[in-house]
Amino acid sequence: MINTFLIGCCYYPEHWEKELMIEDLERIRSLGFNCIRMGEFSWSMYEKEEGKYDFSLLSQAVEEAEKLGISVILGTPTAAPPKWLTDKHPEVLCSDIKGVVMQHGSRQHHNHTSEIYLRYCASITEAMVRHFCGFSNVIGWQIDNEFNCHRNESHSEADDRAFRVWLEKKYQTVEHLNECWGTRFWSLEFNSFSEVTCPRAIPTQPNPSWVTDYYLFLSDTVVNYAAVQTKMIRKYMPQAFITHNGWFDNIDYRKLTEECLDFLSFDSYPAFFERNGLALGRNAAYKLALTRGCSSRYMILEQQSGPGGQLFYLLPTPLPGQIRLWTYQSIAHGAVGVLYFRYRTALYGAEQLWYGIYDHDREENYRSCEIRQITEELGRVGKWFLKNQITPQVAICTDYHNASVNKVESFAPDDCKEIFLALNRKNIHADFICPRDDFSKYKVIIVPHLAMADTALRDKLEDFAQNGGVVILSARSGIKDLNACYVPKKAPGIFRTLTGCSVNWFTTLPAYETQSVLFDGKEYPVDCYYEMLAEEGCETVGRYTNGFCKDQPGITKNGNVYYVGFYCKSAADLYCDLISQHIDVKEPISPDLEEIVMGEVRLCLNHSNKMVEFSGYDLLKEEAFDHIPPYGVVLLKNKE
């Protein structure tokens, strides 16, 4: 749906003097921008009184943008309901797990289940879409803003009612619910669905099946909430695309995308990582890849352009070159549109410290100059990024349901992110896929700690391995059913024949013990939990080095299927070394140089503050180079 590379910014005309609007939009156009996002936080201005709509200021901004050839993405304003609404209907407010009601005063203080609030959301969305459906430059809509950013749970009465409906639809009878949840334990049996509530503050640990279902329910409430608005946009503007800016907790983004969006988008702020260490902005690749797992092509609706911050923190200011670096990082991982947050820094409100392209003073600065360089480059080569994209040979297979189970049973923290980042540092790029996706385009599939699985996935992995693909399963896989209850089978449960091994003994890692695994002549430390394996047709390729399990199997291989019987958050490079035995891996030119092949072109991103010795012809600057400067970017023909 995007046939031109979109580059622009977020603009809030309601924050500035009306007299500045035309000048602001002309300056936006002079930056080389062809798109702006507006409108997502102004419900109180659009509807000062119930049912009386006024979109005049936003209309003027859209009209002036059209004259300048600027496309517009509008946001529905439902993340911040007006005071008159919450005063009239306090039941739309969300509550925390202790029952404390969130009050008016910031944003996202509503819940997603209130039928009253859903009706108001439908009304304001319909009014907006009907008003702007005749504007030719309104090309798309952003639903709400950053679902679950500030609170990702709600425990209000409306949530309890909706949860009961959701459970009854899933289980049909309360007897079936009791059976699936195992409520006989600790006398938790329910006599009717009306007795069930969302989880509350309790003395000790809750029933894990209850909480897992609650996480699934929370995601479905977001999907339903989005669908209310999507329905209105599809009705009046079927030609416009619909997106949303993730990525936050308790949302199945794959389901949200498939049911409500044309594509998912992301808000990228690498300085959140950079404040913790040099070159850690590279770690933004993790959520870029998660977004790509939902939409092979997506947008960055907020790209960092200044030292963002809230009242209690301030991120580091991007150094010269970093905005350009982060922009191309987003593009390299799949973005076909980038909007900078924001045009100008607000003078008031909770985000006075969230700096944009221009500071409070509106004067030109090195950031605006850097962005002009980016837009000039994209004017020449943006077309390449529309037709060329990253095509990893490796995929990490997971899903929201399993992630929810891992979050409930959290004594062993998932190392999925660390595995991805370790691969990324070796320029082994990975996609995120779910069990129902096509496996055939990959050479290696990593299945990390997939507690719940079915025979369909097992058979699919077996076929993949028999056809030459490499499968890597890891500890605590195949041990639970879909209700988050343990299966009465020896681990790894459903994967036992696939892996050709079983778990003979397991333990968490006590403080007094150090454990590691020797694989291919190198030792890798073990984190938090490990399993001693028994061979059942497989071969042992990695053995433990210490304690009771010394010299016992820790990594096995059954044909093309590996089983890694431990968590290795601090040694995730094990996966890099294992994978490098099966695919060609080029040693990085420099530890902080990210190289990404995108069809006929290749992007090289220097995330460090050191020069990298490297030569070639840069298509961005249209000149030869003999080094990449700190935070530098070069684009090469792939043959180089």
pLDDT tens digits for range 165-176: 999 999 999 999
Residue 110: pLDDT band with limits 50, 70, 90: very high
**pLDDT, tens digit, for every residue of 30-60?**
999 999 999 999 999 999 999 999 999 999 9
Residue 79 has what pLDDT? Answer: 96
Q: Residue type at 73?
A: I
Spatial contact of 207 and 184, defined as CB atoms under 8 Å apart: no
Q: Residue written as tokens 């509106």?
A: 362
Residue 208 has what pLDDT? Answer: 96
Strands (E), 270-424: 298-304, 335-341, 394-397
Spatial contact of 266 and 291, defined as CB atoms under 8 Å apart: yes
CA proximity to 341, closest of 265, 254, 416? 265
Quote the crossing angle between the two packed helices 400-408 and 208-236, to the nearest 10°.
140
CB proximity list for 179: less than 8 A, separation 6 or greater: none
Distance CA(208)–CA(409), nearest Å, equals 7
**The domain 593-637: what is its CATH number?**
2.60.40.1180
In the chain, what is the greatest distance between 2 CA atoms, to the nearest angstrom? Answer: 77
Query: Alpha carbon of 256 to those of 159, 239, 247, 288, 402: distances in Å?
Result: 19, 20, 12, 17, 17
Cα atoms found within 13 Å of the Cα of residue 280, Cβ hemisphere only:
10
What's the mean per-residue pLDDT of the chain? 96
Whether residue 3 is predicted with pLDDT greater than 90 in this model: the reply is: no
Whether residue 377 is predicted with pLDDT greater than 70 in this model: the reply is: yes
Whether residue 2 is predicted with pLDDT greater than 80 in this model: the reply is: no
Query: Alpha carbon of 504 to those of 538, 552, 554, 616: distances in Å?
Result: 14, 10, 11, 54
Does residue 563 sit in helix, strand or coil? strand
CA proximity to 470, closest of 582, 576, 389? 582
Query: Alpha carbon of 47 to those of 125, 128, 139, 402: distances in Å?
Result: 11, 10, 23, 42
Distance CA(156)–CA(148), nearest Å, equals 16
Location of each CATH 3.20.20.80 domain in the chain: 6-92+104-150+223-387
Distance CA(516)–CA(183), nearest Å, equals 39
Superfamily classification of domain 6-92+104-150+223-387: Glycosidases (3.20.20.80)
Q: Candidates 3.40.50.880, 3.30.70.260, 1.10.357.10, 2.160.10.10; correct CATH number of 394-579?
A: 3.40.50.880
Average pLDDT over residues 529-556: 97
Distance CA(471)–CA(560), nearest Å, equals 6
Average pLDDT over residues 103-111: 92
Percent of the chain whose predicted confidence (pLDDT) is above 90: 97
Whether residue 573 is predicted with pLDDT greater than 80 in this model: the reply is: yes
Location of each CATH 2.60.40.1180 domain in the chain: 593-637
Distance CA(355)–CA(345), nearest Å, equals 5
Distance CA(154)–CA(168), nearest Å, equals 19
Given 40, 126, 146, 370, the catalytic residue: 146
**pLDDT, tens digit, for every residue of 508-517?**
999 999 999 9
Distance CA(507)–CA(529), nearest Å, equals 6
Distance CA(496)–CA(493), nearest Å, equals 5
Chain centre distance of CA 470: 26
Given 302, 377, 531, 595, the catalytic residue: 302
Query: Alpha carbon of 240 to those of 12, 58, 72, 74, 232: distances in Å?
Result: 21, 18, 11, 10, 12
Residue 206, both tokens:
């809750």
Stretch (H or E) spanning 444: strand 444-447
Strands (E), 582-640: 593-598, 601-606, 612-618, 623-628, 633-637
Location of each CATH 3.40.50.880 domain in the chain: 394-579
Residue 536 designated active-site: no
Does residue 416 sit in helix, strand or coil? helix
- Give the gyration radius of the chain's Cα atoms: 26
Residue 1 has what pLDDT? Answer: 65
Distance CA(119)–CA(139), nearest Å, equals 25
Does residue 6 sit in helix, strand or coil? strand
Q: Residue written as tokens 């949302």?
A: 251
Average pLDDT over residues 180-203: 97
Does residue 386 sit in helix, strand or coil? helix
Q: Residue type at 116?
A: I
Q: What is the pTM of this model?
A: 0.97
Spatial contact of 328 and 603, defined as CB atoms under 8 Å apart: yes
The CA-based dihedral angle spanning residues 402, 404, 407, 411, taken in that order and rounded to the nearest 10 degrees: -40
**pLDDT, tens digit, for every residue of 258-291?**
999 999 999 999 999 999 999 999 999 999 999 9
Residue 325, both tokens:
């670096």
Residue 20 has what pLDDT? Answer: 97
Q: Could you check whether the bond before residue 591 is cis, i.e. omega within 30 degrees of 0?
A: no
Residue 146 designated active-site: yes
Chain centre distance of CA 547: 39
Q: How far apart are the first and last CA of the chain?
A: 32
Residue 359 has what pLDDT? Answer: 97
CA 536, 450, 427, 620 dihedral sign is: positive
Residue 174, both tokens:
């309360």
Q: Residue written as tokens 């094990």?
A: 574
Residue 203 has what pLDDT? Answer: 93
Residue 71 CB neighbours (<10 A) = 20
Distance CA(111)–CA(147), nearest Å, equals 11
Whether residue 640 is predicted with pLDDT greater than 60 in this model: the reply is: no
